[in-house]
């Protein structure tokens, strides 16, 4: 089956078909136009050969093509709300450009909330955001805005004791933009005081935007209640989640109560829900979480040692019930994924960010233990894993161990992969190989790695011995929000790698 051509390639073919090949002395210049962060493609940019009527424009992925004459020396790039930029082209055939947004200063005495609170007083600014995920459900979460070392304002998503970096604030006229690049989302609200309204949406405008209302200067999450908690509901709970199958999904809820404040996480075989924060209102509870992808809401009630409720997200709701059990545990993560009969290792050859094919049989990996992780840049638990694995590798690589991360992404075209891989590598200071396995679909993962009996979770960690054979496979990931479960994972991870390194 022929592979699907990216839109930019088809447009380029059309361009050359209509215009013909450049005449003698002329040449075609191409390149990308991105926002100031260097990764977000810009559409609708007008590119002009200075001093002529020759113009072009960007395509949907930020790529442009323009024909120039031997005497042409400067290209001009312009887009409303961005600073116009002139670039000398010399003998270049490719010119990549980044454009900065025009920053409009508010009139004295009419400063926006962010400008007045942050730029003047240099103090954190607090927002209470309420997402309307459906007609009947609002999810409150908290943001804090701080200045970075470069004096840029950044937004952080607050969940419990964690502040997760979301992105830089850009104030453009009457709007505030936050590119949440980690998840290809953007937050856009009106620039004003008191109440801000807007949307959380995909950067490419696909899907349905989620309406959001922001109360500036607010630090509470859920509305304060005058009803005291009926009890202290801290502890572990064995949970069954309804999933429209005869066999409910098993999970573990970990809760910590401080007065009427409630914190926790939900462990599933696919990974944990990261940090949840909320309140206890009598025997009822409300929890929420948001790190830039999609808000989630957990609500329900306690009756003595039992718990019941539902998990609500943009895609729907799942009911759950459970009992208090300090020994609650998930199935053994080392027994869920394994090799099919007749297989001893994994066979693959996948490209890295530069298109270089990486294989487990490469000389670099011979006679060395290798840790293979299967994940994606869009996966919250994979972010937690990379935050652990990247510094772990720097500390242990001199012992002769290697790491390969195989990522499956929502898009697989080269410009997109360069963007998301480059950002992820820089964010986590990754020095091991990161390769593209294919599109983010569990069935596609299983097809691309046919030795596996199944694929259940991003991330999945595979331990390879010095002979190149699979020693163990760990499904899922217990991150920092899981407390002792995270500590146990780190202990087990180090135990397994030590055995592989020390083996002959």
Give me the mean pLDDT over the 421-433 stretch: 95
CATH code assigned to 113-216: 2.40.128
Q: What is the pLDDT of residue 350?
A: 98
> Quick one: pLDDT band at residue 434, thresholds 50, 70, 90?
very high
Q: What is the pLDDT of residue 367?
A: 96
CATH code assigned to 235-324: 2.40.128.120
Question: CA separation (Å) from 389 to 364, 397, 459?
Answer: 19, 11, 12
Summarize pLDDT for 349-359 with one digit per residue, the tens. Answer: 999 999 999 99
Summarize pLDDT for 279-317 with one digit per residue, the tens. Answer: 999 999 999 999 999 999 999 999 999 999 999 999 999
Rounded to the nearest 5 degrees, what angle is found at the Cα of 390, between the Cα atoms of 385 and 395? 125
Summarize pLDDT for 359-396 with one digit per residue, the tens. Answer: 999 999 999 999 999 999 999 999 999 999 999 999 99
Residue positions counted in the chain: 504
Question: CA separation (Å) from 196 to 188, 202, 501?
Answer: 10, 19, 55
ω into residue 127 within 30 of 0, thus cis? no
> Quick one: pLDDT band at residue 157, thresholds 50, 70, 90?
very high
Both tokens assigned to 175: 């709007």
The strand pairing partners of 216, in sequence order, are 127
- Which of 75-79, 363-367, 430-434, 439-443 shows the lowest per-residue confidence on average (mean pLDDT)? 75-79
**Domain segments of the chain as ranges:** 7-99, 113-216, 235-324, 349-502
| Fold: same for 113-216 and 235-324 | yes
Q: What is the pLDDT of residue 330?
A: 95
The b/e string for 227-245 (b: 16+ C-beta within 10 A; e otherwise) is eebeeebebbbbbebeeee
Pick the CATH number of 7-99 from 3.30.465.10, 3.40.430.10, 1.10.150.20, 2.60.40.1120: 2.60.40.1120
CATH 3.30.870.10 fits 349-502, yes or no: no
- Locate the DSSP E strands across 90-161: 97-99, 125-134, 137-147, 153-159
Most confidently predicted of 96-105, 150-159, 306-315: 306-315
> Quick one: pLDDT band at residue 152, thresholds 50, 70, 90?
confident
Phi/psi of residue 193, nearest 5 degrees: -120, 155
Q: What is the pLDDT of residue 13?
A: 42
Question: CA separation (Å) from 50 to 34, 58, 85?
Answer: 20, 17, 11
Q: How far is CA 491 from the centre of its chain?
A: 26
Summarize pLDDT for 221-258 with one digit per residue, the tens. Answer: 999 888 999 999 999 999 999 988 888 999 999 999 99
**pLDDT mean across residues, the chain:** 88
Q: What is the pLDDT of residue 5?
A: 46
Q: If DSSP codes are grouped into helix, strand and coil, which group holds residue 471?
A: strand
- State the pairing for strand pair 357-359/349-351: antiparallel
> Quick one: pLDDT band at residue 44, thresholds 50, 70, 90?
confident
Q: What is the pLDDT of residue 122?
A: 60
3-state helix vs strand vs coil in the chain, percent to 5? 20, 40, 40
Question: CA separation (Å) from 62 to 21, 139, 282, 497?
Answer: 22, 34, 53, 43
Whether the predicted pLDDT of 182 surpasses 80 = yes
């Amino acid at each position: 089956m022929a592979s699907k051509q990216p839109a930019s390639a088809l447009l380029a073919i059309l361009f050359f078909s209509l215009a013909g090949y450049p005449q003698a002395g002329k040449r075609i210049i191409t390149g990308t136009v991105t926002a100031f962060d260097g990764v977000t493609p810009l559409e609708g940019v007008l590119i002009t050969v200075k001093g002529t009527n020759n113009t072009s424009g960007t395509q949907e992925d930020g790529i442009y093509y323009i024909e120039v004459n031997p005497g042409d020396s400067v290209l001009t790039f312009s887009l409303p709300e961005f600073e116009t930029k002139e670039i000398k082209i010399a003998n270049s055939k490719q010119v990549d450009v980044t454009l900065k947004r025009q920053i409009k200063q508010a009139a004295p005495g009419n400063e926006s909330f962010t400008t007045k609170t942050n730029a003047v007083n240099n103090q954190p600014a607090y927002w209470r955001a309420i997402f309307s995920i459906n007609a009947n459900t609002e999810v409150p979460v908290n943001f804090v805005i701080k200045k970075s070392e470069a004096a840029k304002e950044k937004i952080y998503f607050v969940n419990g004791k964690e502040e997760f970096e979301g992105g830089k604030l850009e104030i453009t006229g009457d709007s505030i933009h936050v590119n949440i690049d980690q998840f290809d989302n953007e937050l856009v609200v009106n620039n004003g005081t008191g109440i801000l309204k807007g949307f959380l949406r995909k950067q490419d405008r696909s899907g349905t935007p989620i309406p959001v209302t922001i109360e500036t200067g607010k630090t509470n999450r859920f509305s304060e209640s005058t009803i005291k908690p009926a009890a202290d509901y801290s502890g572990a709970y064995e949970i069954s989640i309804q999933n429209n199958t005869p066999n409910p999904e098993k999970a573990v809820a970990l809760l910590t109560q401080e007065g009427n404040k409630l914190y926790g996480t939900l462990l599933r075989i696919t990974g944990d829900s990261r940090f949840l924060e909320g309140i206890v209102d009598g025997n009822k509870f409300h929890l929420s979480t948001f790190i830039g992808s999609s808000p989630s809401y957990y609500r329900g009630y306690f009756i003595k040692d039992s718990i019941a409720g539902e998990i609500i997200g943009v895609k729907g709701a799942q009911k759950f019930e459970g009992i208090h059990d300090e020994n609650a545990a998930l199935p053994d993560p080392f027994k869920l994924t394994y090799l099919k009969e007749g297989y001893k290792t994994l066979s693959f050859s996948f490209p890295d960010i530069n298109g270089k094919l990486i294989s487990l049989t490469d000389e670099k990996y011979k006679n060395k233990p290798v840790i293979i992780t299967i994940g994606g840049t869009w996966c919250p638990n994979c972010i937690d894993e990379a935050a652990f694995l990247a510094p772990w590798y720097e500390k242990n690589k001199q012992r002769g161990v290697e790491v390969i991360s195989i990522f499956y992404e929502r898009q697989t075209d080269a410009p997109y992969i360069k963007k998301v891989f480059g950002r992820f590598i820089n964010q986590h200071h990754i020095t091991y190989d990161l390769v593209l396995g294919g599109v983010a679909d569990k069935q596609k993962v299983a097809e691309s790695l046919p030795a596996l009996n199944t694929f259940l979770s991003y991330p999945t960690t595979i331990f390879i011995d010095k002979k190149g054979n699979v020693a163990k496979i760990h499904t899922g990931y217990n991150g920092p929000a899981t407390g002792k479960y995270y500590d146990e994972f780190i202990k087990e991870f180090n135990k397994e790698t030590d055995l592989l390194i020390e083996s002959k």
